[in-house]
Amino acid sequence: MKFVDEATILVSAGDGGNGCVSFRREKYIPRGGPDGGDGGDGGDVYMQADENLNTLIDYRFEKSFRAERGENGQSRDCTGKRGKDIVIKVPVGTRIIDQGTGETLGDMMTHGQVQMVAKGGWHGLGNTRFKSSVNRTPRQKTMGTPGEKRDLQLELMLLADVGMLGLPNAGKSTFIRAVSAAKPKVADYPFTTLVPSLGVVRMDTEQSFVVADIPGLIEGASEGAGLGIRFLKHLERCRVLLHTIDLAPIDESDPIENARIILGELEKYSEKLFSKPRWLVFNKVDLLDQEEAESRAKAIAEALGWTDKYYLISAANRSGVTPLCWDVMSFINANPKEAEVEQKQPEKVEFMWDDYHRQQLEEAEAESGVEVEDDDWDDDWDEEDDEGVEIIYKR
């Protein structure tokens, strides 16, 4: 299945149903009073995280989603049926952004998590709501409000503990193949990896971590060179980055300069990502004798001003891979996820109809001179009045 990590969709909540103007007319009850019911609320639109999905490709073809409209009110005080909600399923790790405002509506971080993205319109009020002692035959009603519409940008960001970082052909995919059951494509030419991939590294029956491999970066990636930096977002949620450096580049380039290119592109993309814990991993030591490999690694570390521990491995023959994985496992156990993977949640998602309904009621009250109750209201109509003389006072 093709990996798609970005999509744009239009979501439309259902409109509210209109209120009804109706009067009770039955045999022997010629003046039964108003009995027009309220309309139904429009359906809402929700997003739900589903761990069984791993791509947004479905939303490249189906781009518009609409919830059901609320039904209009009917006579005999019948309230219209509420419109059905719709639920759009997305992969875990999807970020939802309102394109119109730039507002982040939510990060879908856990399986089953639900987020409202468009609120249905409010119901209109029937004429029963407007009756009073001085207006026994109200002909006012209100219309249902339109449901919200939003253009949403969906961004899938892989959830991994460890991110692989490096130039093309540094051996990142080979490393993932060596430590997990993932089988990304491996070849002796650049950009073999075209889409991100995940691998689960199981250290024992109770300990494991997830590694993310992204396409390699090259100089000028921040300006669109190569595959650009669009895949770097998949590393934002990693707890540690493994900066993989090829000790024996096939193009005979300078490993020091190659490492600086990666650091430069990382800094241009995001200061936060640049400041994440990062380990140096020197790969392909099997192509050099041990003494030369150690000498090159030391020289590169000194040139980069690296004072922390670094690792020499060969992903091809798995030399040095196991100690590295155990150190990563220890680091992950000692550094739990920040607030369960730092969800970028807004303080409160504002829906445009939250205040509109109250304004509509206030306008109706001003026009009719009657206080309108939209919640549980007290039916003060006296059926015994039907048999007597009806007197209407007009102000």
* Binding annotation for Mg(2+): 173, 193
Cα distances from 365 to residues 36, 212, 360, in angstroms, run: 17, 60, 9
Question: What is d(CA 104, CA 349) in angstroms, rounded to the nearest whole number?
Answer: 8
Dihedrals φ, ψ of 280, to 5°?
-90, 130
Question: What is d(CA 66, CA 361) in angstroms, rounded to the nearest whole number?
Answer: 26
Instruction: Give me Rg for the CA atoms of the chain.
Output: 32
Question: What is d(CA 64, CA 117) in angstroms, rounded to the nearest whole number?
Answer: 13
Q: How far apart are the first and last CA of the chain?
A: 73
Beta strands in 193-308 (DSSP E): 197-202, 208-213, 240-246, 278-283
Block residue for tokens 């030369």: 292
**Beta-bridge mates of residue 34:** 23
Contact 244, 165 (CB under 8 A): yes
Annotated binding site: 166-173, 191-195, 213-216, 283-286, 314-316
Question: What is d(CA 294, CA 325) in angstroms, rounded to the nearest whole number?
Answer: 20
Question: What is d(CA 221, CA 266) in angstroms, rounded to the nearest whole number?
Answer: 10
Block residue for tokens 């020289």: 299
Q: At what angle do helices 172-179 and 321-334 cross, to 10 degrees?
A: 80
For the beta carbon of residue 328, count every other beta carbon within 10 angstroms. Answer: 22
Bridging pattern class, strands 149-156 and 94-98: antiparallel
Task: Return the sign of the alpha-carbon dihedral for residues 59, 62, 63, 64.
Answer: negative
Block residue for tokens 């259902």: 14
Q: Which amino acid is at 300?
A: I
Block residue for tokens 């920040």: 338
Annotated binding site for GTP: 166-173, 191-195, 213-216, 283-286, 314-316
Mapping DSSP to helix (H, G, I), strand (E, B) and coil, where does residue 71 land?
A: coil
Q: Which amino acid is at 254?
A: D
